[in-house]
Structure 1
Amino acid sequence: MAVSGPRPKTCAACGRGIAASEVYYRFTLVLQGEQDVLGPAGGGSTGDDLASLLKQLEEGPESPREWEEQVHWERSGVVCAACRSVVVRMLSVPPDVARPH
């Protein structure tokens, strides 16, 4: 039986191949949508607001999968050393510093 080396890896950010001798970084990113309070729709009760929202969702053009991905999105993979620096810098900005999206 032949023993093969490690499987080739590709950076999830830049797409560059990562050699088996290079350092790489594993990541898991989970984005979960949350909303503390429903906005005032028309002064009705909360039950009315929820029924109206459900009707709007059912009649909209988005598929259930699209709605699900807006609420829960998860990815994992590896990044190269250069992309790790960019990701860490981007996610480490203090919240009071406004940056364009």
Structure 2
Amino acid sequence: MLPAGITIVIGTLKIHRDPKYYKNPNVFEPDNFLPENAQGRHYYSYIPFSAGPRSCVGRKFALLKLKILLSTILRNYKVASAAPEEKFRLQADIILKRTDGFRIKIEPR
């Protein structure tokens, strides 16, 4: 039992990079989310919008909007990072973000 008024922080970075659920956890692999690859995976192994009865009510809308935005950008522009991933310094806030911002290069296709 936890004491009343306690604050709990869930380490989503660790959850989302758990080798128990993702064979190459530190590499971005979109195929991890294909139905055949997600089948049998624990429901809470990926929780970008929280989970359970108090999860984000806008989750489906946010994911749909994100897919539309990303597909539009990626169809029309080349996007590259100005720094290698090994040099990213991350900060946990309401969302996980880089401490120095996202330094990217965007060029029309």
* TM-score scaled by length of structure 1: 0.25
Higher helix share: 2
Which structure has greater strand proportion?
A: 1
- Bigger radius of gyration: 1
Higher relative contact order (CA 8 A, sep 6+): 1
With the length of structure 2 as denominator, give the TM-score of the two structures: 0.23
